[in-house]
Structure 1
Amino acid sequence: MLMAHAGEDANVSNIREELDEGALGRVQSLVRAFGLMDELAKSDSMTLSDLARTVSLPRSTAHRLLTTMEALRYVTFDRATNRWSIGVQAFTVGAVFAQTRDLGKLGRSIMRSLMAEVNHCVNIAVPEGRGICYVGQVAQNGFRPTAARPGAVLPLHTTASGKVLMAHWTRQEFDDYVAQAPLKGRTSRSIVDADRLRKELATIRDRGYAMDDEEYDAGLRCVAAMVHDRDGLPKGALSVSDRSSQLARTRLYELGPTLVMAAQQMSSEIAAQYF
């Protein structure tokens, strides 16, 4: 809650109270809207009266929230039956979450097999804003966690997983990324020049896999390949990483083709899951 400061005049205090009430009202509307969607998710469809009664809202309030969500396609209204149901946008959001989660779960057998073959940590990551979020990891017993632990969000341009995703961007997407914020380095090996990074991404695109030779962490190396969704679009990155003392630079080139094949297999399994 916004508090009035000492010595503040009455007008300023009133404005603060109005802002506080406005913010609270918006949050309350959001909570009520999600409540309506939760109930619709439990049923094929509901009338306005039944829905309002179930969530303990006046019909007028429920109708206002529903029509707003209808405009955004989160709910839909059948005018022939006067019933409300979940809309296509809610399904789209849910499907994206399911696919993201499945990258860590669906591909786990592939990740285990890959780990047993290469004897290094295997990770799966998805884009998250200007970073890459690691959503799954398979490692041998005794492996010391690195920066690429599940839940961590690391910069795109200093990681193999991030760079392999960037390699599939359009020129405009790359230019927008560079324009939004400077390319900050993490180590002396980080690529912080836009032209040099652009050339690096072109090489990655032609080769099929990306490498992080101590670009994020001076003691860590990684190699990554693209995982595609059912439409063939970039979805995430499968990677192999380890301490530099355990993963020589020359070994990255050996692992690259193997990783590409594993990523293609994971892409096929994900595509099959959604057809």
Structure 2
Amino acid sequence: MDSQDNGSGPRRKARGRPRGWDDKTAQNTIKSLDRAMEVFEYLSEEQGKALSTLSEEMSQSPATVYRILVTLEGRGLVEFDHDEQVWHIGPKAFVIGSRFLRRTSLVDRARPVMRKLMEATGETANLGVEKEGSVLFLSQVETHASIRAFFPPGTLSPMHASGIGKALLAHMDEDRLDRLLAAVDLQAFTDRSITSAETLKKDLASIRAQGFSVDNEEKNTGMRCIAAPVFDINREAIAGISVSGPTSRVSEAEIERLSRPVIEAAHQLTLAIGGTVTLPRS
């Protein structure tokens, strides 16, 4: 039997969003709220700002910025340091952010990013994390090409002979890196495998500087992989995203071109999980 609403007809199913959801024109936005969020986001990046400094840097009147800050303060989203006379992000912002992180799944967030990466490059996209000194592959979006890389979820691979592995090693704390290298055998899988800790560290320094790593037939002859790290809120590399394919398609001449969408995908996934994008460093 259909549900009735005061006898006037079938009750409509609750809608998750209204008509015109995709209409982002001014008529569907709240300007004052948008302005408040601008102040909130700016303060989150530039904490410890005086009212006059915020007003000047954001080209907003002091009165407007003050009203916004006081409103946000009432919700615990910002707080005022009376001794220093500056504003900071408040504890409620952390609480809300933590709720977002609790619902965030790395694999779920990665799937659309990986799909776009595969379509942009034409090569198989992979997602992996470090697990007890090895790379654990969590997800893969395969290319439609007949010859392709295959790393099913659950596959383990040595970090020193993996694009994702080297991307993670390059951003690992030095003490932890030394402990890990001392505990593993840098096995030779091909004549291109890196078997010296000193040589590997030089490669890792280059990876940090350029923002991506390359498995240059170091695990399997005829296969090449390009990877970039994914960072969490603490700027720690917690995962890697990559594309893999035969050297006939992923040639040395193509590395630079293919690295750009890989780095962009890593940045997108970093932001999608609430992380902080970390730029290449020497």
Q: Into which bin does the TM-score normalised by the smaller protein fall?
A: 0.5 to 0.7
Name the Cα RMSD after superposition.
2.1
The 5-angstrom pairing of residues 161-200 of structure 1 reads 161-200=164-203
Name the structure where helix makes up a greater proportion of residues: 1
* Partner SS for 1:169: coil
Question: Is 1:246 the equivalent of 2:246?
Answer: no
Matched letter for residue 214 of structure 1: E
After superposition, the Cα gap between the structure-2 partners of 1:231 and 1:143, relative to the gap in structure 1 and judged at 3 Å, is farther
Q: Aligned to 2:234, what secondary structure does the other structure show?
A: coil
Structure 1: 4+ residue segments shifted above 6 A: none
Superposition map of 1:204-223 within 5 A:
204-223=207-226
- Of 107, 127, 130, the match for 2:130: 127
Work out which of the residue numbers 145, 148, 153 in structure 2 matches 1:150. 153
Does residue 253 of structure 2 align to residue 262 of structure 1? Answer: no
Q: Which amino acid aligns with 2:212?
A: Y
Q: Is the 8 A contact 1:222 1:252 kept in 2?
A: no
Match of 2:230 among 211, 219, 227: 227
CA distance in 2, matches of 1:199, 1:190: 14
**Could you tell me the percent identity over the aligned residues?**
30
Q: Secondary structure at the match of 2:260?
A: helix
> What TM-score results when the alignment is normalised by the length of structure 1?
0.60
**Structure 2 stretches of 5 or more lacking a match?**
1-97, 276-282
- Which range moved further: 246-255 or 187-196? 246-255
Report if aligned partners of 2:133, 2:184 keep a CA contact under 8 Å in 1.
no
SS in 1 for 2:161: coil
The corresponding residue for 1:140 is 143
Q: Deviations over 1:55-87 (max 9, x none)?
A: xxxxxxxxxxxxxxxxxxxxxxxxxxxxxxxxx
Alignment-mate amino acid for residue 181 of structure 2:
V
Is there any run of 5+ residues in structure 1 with no aligned partner, and where?
A: 1-91
Alignment of 1:87-126 (within 5 A): 102-126=105-129
Query: How big is the shift at 1:252?
Result: 1.6
